[in-house]
Amino acid sequence: MERHLDEELNSLKTKLRQMGDLAEGMLEASIHALEAHDLSALPEIQRKEEEVNRMQIQIDEHCLRLIALYQPTARDLRFILGVAKTNTELERLGDEAINICNKIPDFRNNPSFNVFADFPAMATIARSMIRESLYACFERDVFKARDVIMSDDQLDDYKRRVSAHLTEVMSKDQSTVEDGIKMILLARNLERIGDLATNIAENTIFVEEGLDVRHHAEDKSRPHDDSNAGK
């Protein structure tokens, strides 16, 4: 029975890895298509989204079946729960890739509508965070996972700077409002991708160490050292 559970867990991990490869590929293709103002990749990205959606349902059903059949021990249960959570984040990653693709016509049909200056840097960080978070997940690397979490602040800073700059531009010139809003929404898509990578990294730490680091819960759970109070 125990050996069979190990086989089931390995199968579950393989399915999640396949889903991760699909979702990451969608992200790469959507960013490339946006940069190239190219709609030709959209049908294939949409096809992959349907596959990601199917895999989400299959993985969730697999997780529920393992819990019901095997009543797994704490560590195995954390793994199954971690898979279920990461499964959800990957489906959302596919959605964000589609959201980026849907903005391609706005860039393509307006020659004067250039990608904002910070887009390449934001895209690079977002892609790196996803790649590193998936590596951490499948290689059980909590150090890499913590690096991913730290990277999120940088992406958030870019998004705040972009939003502040475009808001100022729009306030001075009403003709820029429509395009400015589209660019702010694109920056928000990239920020959300960073959030998804952070969630995957947090899931990895939870699975491997049993620590909940969401919302800095890890720091809050540590006992306070009052020995230096007042010094």
Sole residue written with tokens 């920020």:
191
72: left (phi over 0), alpha (psi -120 to 50) or beta: beta
Confidence (pLDDT) at 39:
85
Confidence (pLDDT) at 34:
86
Confidence (pLDDT) at 113:
43
List the structure tokens of 169: 């531009």
At the fourth CATH level, the homologous superfamily of domain 2-215 is Phosphate transport system protein phou homolog 2; domain 2 (1.20.58.220)
What is the C-alpha to C-alpha distance for residues 105 and 56, in angstroms, rounded to an integer? 29
Confidence (pLDDT) at 202:
96
What is the C-alpha to C-alpha distance for residues 178 and 92, in angstroms, rounded to an integer? 26
> Mean pLDDT, the chain, as a whole number?
86
* Domain parsing of the chain, residue ranges: 2-215
Q: Would you say residue 148 has pLDDT above 60?
A: yes
Condensed to tens digits (0 to 9), the pLDDT of residues 7-31 reads: 999 999 999 999 999 999 999 999 9
Confidence (pLDDT) at 213:
86
What is the C-alpha to C-alpha distance for residues 88 and 99, in angstroms, rounded to an integer? 17
Confidence (pLDDT) at 117:
66
Confidence (pLDDT) at 3:
67
List the structure tokens of 192: 């959300």
Q: Would you say residue 156 has pLDDT above 90?
A: yes
Looking at residue 224, the DSSP 8-state letter turns out to be P
Q: Residues 182-200: what's their mean pLDDT? A: 94
